[in-house]
Amino acid sequence: MTLKPENRQIEFNSNGQKLRKGAIQIVEISAERGRLSAGNVVSRRDFLPFGEELYADGVHWTVAGKYLLTGQDGVRQRFTGYQKDTETSLDFAEARMYANTYGRFTAVDPLLASGKSANPQTFNRYIYVLNNPLLLTDPDGLQVTSNPDEDSIKLETQLSRKAPWVGNVRVIHNGREVKNDLYVGDQFTIEWKFRINKLDDPKRIQRASTVSGVDRDRSTGFSNGKPIGTETEITKGNDSFSDAEGIKRLGDAKIVTVGARADETEVTMSQTFEIIGRKDGTPGASNQINFQITVVDPRAPLTPNRNSTKMEKGPLPANPAIFTTRTNDPRRDVTSDPSKAISYRNRKRSKEEEEEE
């Protein structure tokens, strides 16, 4: 029985030595009385980065070392696991054929989505692995990946060069944007728009963005984008802090619209809340609810720059796009608009006020 192991970017031979990229060992295992005996190497192959096979030269690659003189041994799996067409010497890459002598595919890439505006190399529809065969492979002739056995999100992260974006935030009550105080029992909806790198899975889109209450105190710390610390800055009954305990969620955030914008997915979401009032029940006091919207894109680089893959460090993980109603938010690259904070009276509306509403 002959086993044909999958191609790996780095393989080790029986002596523990690293083989060159694309190297393959063919191992023969014999069955004896229902048991498998130790495997013996019957054939080895080495390839140059773009796939030209290195045959036995009597010095580095010898017949005694199980290298071939002509490459004809009946095993068709060759470079990166592609099957070799012996008549044309082309490699079968599933979606199209690959010519290792030129380092190019023989037909255009049929997957239009593999073209990324942020990486002009991808618009050469004949190119093989962006001219970087030491790091990347293309297991199906459609899209490059850093490991054929894993999701290609890591590579797409490098190619997309788009950090997430959030904006167009509205706070709506009774069909109108909130301009004045609300009251206990009133419901309001926060609506916002965000952009992430192209994503088609509704569940992953749903998880990309969240709304949370935030603390207004500038000295308060943050951990993983969430506030830690105590509410402060209370003056003369005008409570200007997050007051997140004064509201309750009425269900999860909902996707309103999903659309395409170049190579990005543009999403409008909304979430509805109800004001339940402060626990201390202070009548008539004007309270303020600050909130923040966070967008995290699993395919985006760790940078707030929408056109750069440079990894950046700072007091906040750079990948999330954050909108907050905090005044003078100390975190960098955070969009802040205090006018969107919700103010409410810690009592129910009177009949006169209901009629005016």
Angstrom distance (rounded) from CA 241 to CA 229: 12
Q: Assign residue 44 a region: left if phi > 0, alpha if psi is -120 to 50, beta otherwise?
A: beta
What is the average pLDDT score of the chain? 75
* pLDDT on residue 297: 84
Q: What is the pLDDT of residues 130-146, one digit of tens each?
A: 888 887 888 888 888 76
Average pLDDT over residues 260-284: 83
Angstrom distance (rounded) from CA 64 to CA 265: 57
325 CB-near residues (< 8 Å, 6+ apart): 214, 290, 291, 292, 336, 337, 338, 339, 340, 341
For the record, the structure tokens of 195 come out as: 């952009």
Higher pLDDT, 7 or 329: 329
Angstrom distance (rounded) from CA 67 to CA 57: 9
Angstrom distance (rounded) from CA 224 to CA 220: 13
pLDDT band of 254, cuts 50, 70, 90: very high
Percent of the chain with pLDDT over 90: 20
DSSP-assigned beta bridge partners for residue 25: 44
pLDDT at 97 over 70: yes
* pLDDT on residue 98: 95
Q: What is the pLDDT of residues 282-312, one digit of tens each?
A: 666 667 788 889 898 877 777 777 777 666 6
* pLDDT on residue 159: 53
Cα distances from 90 to residues 39, 84, 136, 173, 241, in angstroms, run: 30, 6, 20, 65, 68
Q: Assign residue 94 a region: left if phi > 0, alpha if psi is -120 to 50, beta otherwise?
A: left
DSSP-assigned beta bridge partners for residue 102: none
Q: What is the pLDDT of residues 126-184, one digit of tens each?
A: 999 888 888 788 888 888 876 544 444 444 445 556 889 999 999 999 999 998 889 98
264-294 burial: b if 16+ Cβ within 10 Å, else e: bbebebebbbebebbeeeeeebebbbbbbbb
* pLDDT on residue 326: 78
Residue type at 236? Answer: K
Average pLDDT over residues 85-97: 90
97 CB-near residues (< 8 Å, 6+ apart): 85, 88, 90, 91, 105, 106, 107
Higher pLDDT, 334 or 157: 334
pLDDT at 237 over 60: no
* pLDDT on residue 93: 92
Percent of the chain with pLDDT over 70: 68
pLDDT band of 248, cuts 50, 70, 90: confident
Global pTM reads: 0.53
pLDDT band of 39, cuts 50, 70, 90: low
Angstrom distance (rounded) from CA 112 to CA 198: 13
Average pLDDT over residues 330-334: 73
Select the highest-mean-pLDDT range: 64-73, 173-182, 343-352.
173-182
* pLDDT on residue 167: 93
Domain boundaries, the chain: 165-356
